[in-house]
Chain A
Amino acid sequence: MAEIEVRGLRKAFDGTEVLKGVDLTIENGEFISLVGPSGCGKSTLLRVIAGLEPQSSGEIRIDGISADGVRSSARNLAMVFQSYALYPHLSVFDNIAVPLRMKRLSALARLPILGRLMPGRQRTERGIRAEVERVADQLEISPLLKRKPGQLSGGQRQRVAVGRAIVRQPRAFLFDEPLSNLDAKLRVHMRAEIAQLHRQLKTTFIYVTHDQAEAMTMSGRIAVMIGGELIQVGTPSAIYEDPRDIRVAEFIGTPKINAFPGRIRGDGRLEVLGHVLHAATPAPAGECRVCVRPERIDLTGSGVFSGTVVHLENLGSEAFVHVASEGMSAPVVARVNDPSLLPTIGASVGYGFVPDAVRAFDGDGKRIATEIASRVERPRGMAVV
């Protein structure tokens, strides 16, 4: 159980700045995900917290005490790695027992044969055995204890790696993309298991992933990192519904949010592809980006925008329609909840969106406030444009 504070953390490798001043407070017992595209520095941040990498400047505080210069093993954090990092020559039992043996046995008692003669070793070993078996039981890997990691499937190795982390009862768990080596089905299953584990242990979890679905489904809070900076921290729904930066809006959500080139008129109204929206902003006139999630694009109504269907993705329960329109570099993606109502490829369709679906961003990519413009004359639900 630990509260972890990151203050003004910077990290440079050979002159390239990977972390550009990160501030983050992770509450005690919280499940927080660090997400971002690959190379954004999220793994580096985790490794600095773990003590595997020294920071260039800034500070890490664990439970209010500075962790600078404290060895990673002494920080009492446990880490689960993407490649599981199990010791290939040790059995599952020995793999899980390693952290306990390192902590409880003296260097002499750990010697291969001589160690057995050391006083008290038998008793300590019995205690370790009991704890390893309890953890194995909890993770349902008891029948595997005698096997070597090479004889296990990916999912089983993952459990062993988690077991090795749990057994030491750490102050916090650090996960470095632990599910990315698993196949899609198992990943979804392990997602639920890790979330369940967090509810059970009630310990701080820091979870690094590039998969926004993992972050959205498991965590209490998400921290979005892009280009070495923490762009936004918030609950999954806040990050999805209320992105503060266009990069966050584009990173979170599949398919990607639709970004229309827009303009803020002199009277504050937004204009997209030559149509004036029923949305206004107090921001000064100029260029902007108007973003709308695929599920908010309405293909059924008689929207003012028009285009040609270029691609269909039918997932069974839902479908995505890609519509190419004039003035847009990328096709607009719209979600259709009933795949039986799909248009055909090549068909001309009209589409639109309601004003409160609009998330507008200024030239720098920062979010600008929008409100529904007054004097909406059309009937409700048809408030397109």
Chain B
Amino acid sequence: MTTRIHTYLWPATRHILLLAGALVMLTPFIWMLSTASKPQTEIFSSELHLIPHHFALWDNLRTAFAKANLWRYLLNGLIVTISIFGLQVLVALPAAYALAKLRFLGRDVLFALVVFCILIPPQATAIPVFLLLHKLGVLDTYAALVLPFTISVFGIFLMRQFFKTVPDDLIDAARMDGISEFGIVWRVMLPTAIPAVTAFGIFSVVAHWNDYFWPLIVLNSEHLQTPPLAVAQFRNNEAGTNYGPLMAAAIVIIAPLVVAFLFAQRRFIEGITLTGIK
């Protein structure tokens, strides 16, 4: 009997703990949905309630789209994240291939430097990079948003670790077949590394879609702003923060990530767990 209770007790505790953890994670998200669905009067009412008495999500969304050019910001976000990811892959794959599979003098030192670079927080290099972009005269352009992130040491590290697991025989076979070294990177390594590239893509796109710090520093023009900056606009209005439309805008800007996640859920999890296993 006791063993029976024991067998149920542990899974139950486990699930309660997990649910509690999930709730902590989800609360801000649920609160965002709730606030976005409330009219202004209910948001500032003294009593707390989760379900709005008067459902005002559509009104808030309409206000949000009317006040700010959200489509433009979403497009900016798309241009910036896709460019960053594309360039990162273009740099990281050949670099990772060289570090993982080619034998040359100083390779291990170079790899140690790559790992070392992961330790440097982006804020530490923000000012020098800002000055560099100023000298180049590209501040307040898409280039300012994209260029500093084209070399991702994390990407190089991740891909290098994955390439290490690709058998040498495969590369030798490609060489015997007459494929050049760059050809090997794009025609052999890239297709076998799709799961790792996907994993890296998730990290890269999520990080740069949500980045608030860097766009805030390098941008002035409103038409170049990325989604997180757009949300902030609602707060900066002199008339006081307009929480309903702000939360509605927040829903709009995270929607692409959530939708992408739902569509590619299996791939995403595959990609992330894969980096753990291999």
Contact = CB atoms under 8 A, between A and B. Distances in A.
Contacts of A47: 172
Interface in A200-249: none
Given A87-B188, A88-B192, A89-B192, A81 B172 contact: yes
Interface stretch (B113-121, B174-182, B201-209, B241-249): B174-182
B169 A72 contact: no
A47 B174 CA distance: 14
A72 B167 contact: no
A50 interface: yes
Contacts of A89: 191-192, 194
B169 A81 contact: yes
A102 B191 contact: no
Contacts of A74: 178
A73 interface: yes
A52 B191 contact: no
A116 interface: no
A56 B192 CA distance: 33
Contacts of B175: 52, 71-73
A102 B172 contact: no
A199 interface: no
Nearest to B173: A85
A102 B178 contact: yes
Interface centre among B170, B173, B178, B192 (most CB of A within 10 A): B173
Main secondary structure of the interface of A (DSSP, over half): loop
A39 to B, nearest CB: 17
A52 B192 contact: no
Nearest to B175: A72
A111 to B, nearest CB: 11
Contacts of B172: 47, 50, 52, 72, 79, 81, 85
Contacts of A103: 178
Nearest to B194: A89
A104 to B, nearest CB: 10
A341 to B, nearest CB: 48
A78 B175 CA distance: 11
A81 B167 CA distance: 11
B169 A73 contact: no
A199 B255 CA distance: 66
Interface string A65-96: 00000011110011101111111111000000
Contacts of A84: 169
B176 A72 contact: yes
A205 to B, nearest CB: 16
Assign chain B's interface to a size class: 10 to 19
Contacts, number: 59
Interface string A323-346: 000000000000000000000000
A82 B177 CA distance: 16
B167 A98 contact: no
A21 interface: no
A301 interface: no
A99 B177 contact: yes
Nearest to A78: B176
Given A85-B167, A85-B169, A73 B192 contact: no
Nearest to A50: B176
Contacts of A98: 177, 179
A73 B178 contact: yes
Contacts of A87: 170, 173-174, 188, 191-192
Contact of B173 (A71, A77, A79): A79
Interface centre among A77, A87, A88 (most CB of B within 10 A): A87
Interface string A158-177: 00000010000000000010
A164 B169 CA distance: 14
B169 A82 contact: yes
Interface in A328-383: none
Nearest to B167: A83
Contacts of A73: 175-179
Interface centre among B167, B176, B192, B194 (most CB of A within 10 A): B176
A121 to B, nearest CB: 17
A47 B173 CA distance: 11
Contacts of B188: 87
Interface in B143-194: 167, 169-170, 172-179, 188, 191-192, 194
Contact of B179 (A81, A88, A102): A102
Contacts of A52: 172, 175-176
A132 B179 CA distance: 19
A296 B258 CA distance: 77
A102 B167 contact: no
26 contacts: A47-B172, A50-B176, A52-B172, A52-B175, A72-B172, A73-B177, A77-B176, A79-B176, A81-B169, A82-B169, A83-B170, A85-B170, A86-B173, A87-B173, A87-B174, A87-B188, A88-B191, A88-B192, A90-B191, A98-B177, A98-B179, A99-B177, A99-B178, A102-B179, A103-B178, A176-B169
Which 10 A-B pairs rank lowest in CB-CB distance, beginning with the nearest? A73-B178, A89-B191, A85-B173, A102-B178, A85-B169, A81-B169, A99-B177, A85-B170, A83-B169, A98-B177
Interface of A: 47, 50, 52, 71-74, 77-79, 81-90, 98-99, 102-103, 164, 176
Given A72-B175, A81-B172, 5 more contacts: A52-B176, A79-B172, A82-B169, A99-B177, A102-B179
